[in-house]
Structure 1
Amino acid sequence: MSTSSPTSPVSVSRLGYVNFETPDVARLTEYYTKVMGFALVDESPQQVFLTTGADHHCVIIDKAEAAAGRSIVGYEIHEELDDAERRLKAAGLHGERRTDIGPGTPDVLVLTEPATGATLHLYQEQDPSGVRPTFDQRPSKLGHVAAYTTSTNGMRSFYEDAMGFRWSDSIGDFFVFLRCNGDHHAANFMQSDEMKGMHHIAYEARDLTHLQTMIDNLARHGYQLYWGPGRHAVGHNIFTYHKDPDGNHIELFTQLDVMLDEDKGYFEPRPWHEHFPMRPTTWEADAAAMNMWGPIPSGAIKR
């Protein structure tokens, strides 16, 4: 029996998966399996499920007329779906219970993200993939997903009040970073009245050596970086960015800040931090917040 208040937020534990729509399923699948090293778990001519590890999937590829990223985002929760559904309803949010979503997720609570219209999936756990870890170019996990929104304040309120996320950092009044566990952010949002949809998606490398392996494999297959390596000041992760075959922006990163103790409220001390202890803050909107190591290339950050 749940001890949570009917009006308390859902308890999201981690980012689980993200969906891509593409007119060329085979091409995007080849990118994820041959270039990124993901394991293919399940497939049909219309849909493909891929994973980096124990979960059934962390990436879904769907056949569509036009390319798009982040049409669906799945989050694992700590609690029973009945409790989550009841609290969302008490907060005025409608969720639909589904058992026909697809392989790996037999029971899912489906709701719509405000402002963006993206579909959110809440689930307790996925079926196991049976895939063993490797030491090749495969990322260690899906790290975070960034999207455009017409209101960062509104999106922050939704994720904090309804989904139980915590604020990690902001850049000015137009970019907000939110966490659901110790990782600095699982979701981040940039405010824009013109841009829509996914901003970028990020996959984690274990360390710098692993990141080098991933980048070398990109080059081997003809994919070049358009930004990085560099170090973001916000989150302090070392980053690289490239585009997948559909033009989606893909970040590969390592050394992201970690919040070890929510009660104390500061990130694990690192020698590259500006403050000790390093706490959530609003950063000045300048190049240093985006890249401590150098400039921002033209067109890298579109608003």
Structure 2
Amino acid sequence: MSAHPPAIRVSKLGYVGFETPDVDRLVEYYTTVLDFTAVDTAPEGAFLTTGTDHHCVVVTRGDARGRAVVGYEIWEDLDSAQQRLKEAGYETERRSDIGPGTSDVLVLEEPATGTPLHLMTSQDPSGVEGYPPLRPTKLGHVAAYTSALNPMQAFYQDLLGFKWSDTVGDFFVFLRCNADHHAANFMASTKYQGMHHIAYEMRDPNHLIAMLDHLAKNGYRLHWGPGRHGPGHNLFTYHRDPDGHVIELFTQIDVVHDEAKGYWEPRPWHEEYPMYPKTWQVDLATVNQWGPIDPPSLDH
């Protein structure tokens, strides 16, 4: 690889893709249980949204696989981004046939995992107005396993302009592309590969509780939480979708309003004042300040 040119600046997480052997079942989960809107559907897949963007979840037919694709919006034009990636030694493809709502997309492979990454300047509007009482506000972050943590972190920071937020031990890193604590996080693993979990944001604790009651009525039980993480300090709950993928619903995640100051907006539950990005010890309080630990959560 040649020396990296200035980073492309990702502005936000756009969407995540799932492959599933039962499209109807997964679409029903998203529309009936999580209260998303299906903007575009077909026998082989669907595009679903929580709000004004055309979609934040893509469902396609295939073997059960989470994080089959990840889409990011970027600040600059795609011509400039494509040139920067070429100079850095990465192959890209310009596509106009990715799907509805995204007519111009730059595609490249994520190192180590080979996951397709889609870069775009924006999506078409979904036409969906307002927020029903239960629906999550947005796709919050996407977590994955990687066999090459340091190169993955360097790729996201040096090429895509992400900033480091926190690390747990030497194996779990959190990266942000805007004010939110993380949009992408990666766990080093030689045992697992693929998706770790996908997270959707709720407005506040009451909104989260309402959704948990709705999950229970539809037969979905939590396998971890409620609790509060150390890194990010978000309230969290975890359950599994119909294909067994881990889905996090969260609220109250840390935000940084002033990058020049570099610390998180103060919250009463912070351990330090001000609270800066740091490397956390591997202990129970890091994983969950409130106590109970999910055994697989640090299994890598």
> Do both proteins adopt the same fold according to a TM-score greater than 0.5, normalized to the shorter chain?
yes
1:29, 1:300 → 2: CA distance? 27
Q: Find runs of 4+ consecutive structure 1 residues off by over 2 angstroms.
A: 297-302
1:116-136 alpha-carbon deviations (Å, 9 max, x no partner): 110000000100000012242
Residue 37 of structure 2 aligns with which residue?
39
Matched residue SS, 2:99: coil
Residue 52 of structure 2 aligns with which residue?
54
1:289 aligns to 2:265 (yes or no): no
Residue 193 of structure 2 aligns with which residue?
196
Matched residue SS, 2:214: helix
Residue 3 of structure 1 aligns with which residue?
none
Structure 1: where are the runs of 5+ without partners? 1-5
Q: 1:226 aligns with which of 219, 223, 228?
A: 223
- What letter matches 1:298 in structure 2? P
1:108-167 alpha-carbon deviations (Å, 9 max, x no partner): 000000011100000001000000122421100000000000122111100000000000
- What letter matches 2:33 in structure 1? V
Residue 109 of structure 1 aligns with which residue?
106
Q: 1:76 aligns with which of 57, 73, 76?
A: 73
1:263, 1:299 → 2: CA distance? 36
How many Å apart are 1:295 and its aligned residue? 2.1
Structure 2: where are the runs of 5+ without partners? none
Residue 128 of structure 1 aligns with which residue?
125
1:86 aligns to 2:83 (yes or no): yes
Compute the TM-score of the two structures, normalised by the length of structure 1.
0.97
Contact conserved, 1:17 with 1:73, CA < 8 A, in 2? yes
1:233-276 alpha-carbon deviations (Å, 9 max, x no partner): 11000000000000000000000000111111111011111111
Residue 147 of structure 1 aligns with which residue?
144
1:23 aligns to 2:21 (yes or no): yes
CA RMSD of aligned residues (A): 1.1
- What letter matches 1:75 in structure 2? Y
Number of residue pairs the alignment of both structures matches: 298
1:279 aligns to 2:276 (yes or no): yes
1:266, 1:95 → 2: CA distance? 35
1:66-111 alpha-carbon deviations (Å, 9 max, x no partner): 2000010000001100111111111111111101111000000000
1:134, 1:277 → 2: CA distance? 34
Percent identity at matched positions? 63
2:132, 2:56 → 1: CA distance? 18
- What letter matches 1:110 in structure 2? V
